[in-house]
Amino acid sequence: MRTGIWYGIAAYLWWGVSPAYWKQLDHLSPTALIGYRVFWSLLLLGLLLVLRPQDRITRGQLSPRVVTIYAVAAALLYANWLTFVWAVTAGFIVEASLGYFLSPLVTVGLGVVVLREHLRPGQWTAVALAATGVVYLTLSVGTLPWIALLLASTFGLYGLIKKWASLGAMQGLTVEASLLCVPAVVALWLGPDFAVPTGAGADPSQWRQQALLAASGIITVAPLLLFGASVRRIPLSHMGIIQYLAPTLQFLLGVLVYGETFGRSQLAGYGLVWTALLIFAVEGMYAYRAPGVPVEGAGP
C-alpha cells in the first residue's frame, strides 16, 4: 500500500502545477486544447504499449461490461478536463482549486454511499464543515460555485469508476483515450483553432506552440497513470487525504502568480473547507495509527 501512496503524491503534485502549463496556451479554445490533448495522449500511450508488450490489450479483456465502465470513465474524464482547462484559461484558477479541495470529501462521500464505507465522527464533522463552506460561498458571492462543484463531482465519480476497473492503469487510460479520440478530434476539427498549430512555418512562436501541444501527452498521461496505479492500491479514504496537495498548489498559483481576486468573503468560505480538510487529515492519521481500528483493503 505504501507504493500506492507515493504514486498518489506524485500525481497530485504534478496536477498542482499544471495551470502554469495551460496558461501558456490560453489563446486557444478549451475544446481545441482537449482535442490536441486526447490526440497526443493516445499517441504516447500507443508508443508505450509498443515498448511494453506485456501491457497490450487483448480482445478477450474488452467485454461489454468493461467497455461500458471505461466509456463512463472517459465521459467523466472529458467533462473534468474541459471544465478545468476552461477555468484556468479564463482566469478562475482559485475557484478550480476549490473543486479539488472539495474532491477528497466528495470521494469519501461516494465511498460511504456506494461502497458502504463507514465514517467516524471526525470525518462526518469534516464533511459538514465543507458543506457549510460551500453554502457560505454561495450566499456571500451570490452564485453557486459551479466550477468547483463540477470538478469535484466528475473527479470523485471518475475515481469511483476506476475502483471497479479491471484493466491496468496504462491499459485503462488507453481505452479511455481511444473512446474519446473521435469526438474530441471532431470537436477540434469543427472549432476555430484547428489550423492554428498545423503549419511548420518559420515563426518561432509556431514551433513553440506545436511543442507545447505535443507535450500535452506527457502532461496528461504521466499523472493519470500514477493516479490509476494509486487508486487501485489504496482505499478511497486514504486517497482523500492525499488529494489536497494539488489544490493547494493551484490556489497559490492563482493568487500569488496570476493575481486572481481573493477577498474576505472567499477567505471565510475557503477557511471552512480548509478546516474541514485539516480535521479530516489529522483524524485519519490518528485513526490509522490507533490499534484495533479497521483499515479498508486495498486493490490488487
Give dist(CA 194, CA 284) in Å, integer. 47
Residue 34: which pLDDT band, with cuts at 50, 70 and 90?
very high
The answer to whether 180 and 38 have CB atoms below 8 angstroms apart is yes
Residue pLDDT, tens place only, 118-138:
777 777 888 888 888 888 888
| Cα 21 to Cα 97: distance, rounded to the nearest angstrom | 15
Rounded CA-CA distance 263/69 in Å is 42
What does the alpha-carbon distance between residue 123 and residue 293 come to, in Å, rounded to a whole number?
A: 14
Report DSSP state, residue 56.
P
- For residue 152 the three cell numbers come to 469535484
On the CB side of 117, CA atoms within 13 Å amount to: 22
Indicate the range of 47-51, 89-93, 257-261, 293-297 predicted with least confidence.
293-297
pLDDT-derived band at 7, boundaries 50, 70, 90: confident
In angstroms, the CA 277 to CA 254 distance is 20
Domain extent listing, the chain: 2-289
| pLDDT over 60 (residue 279) | yes
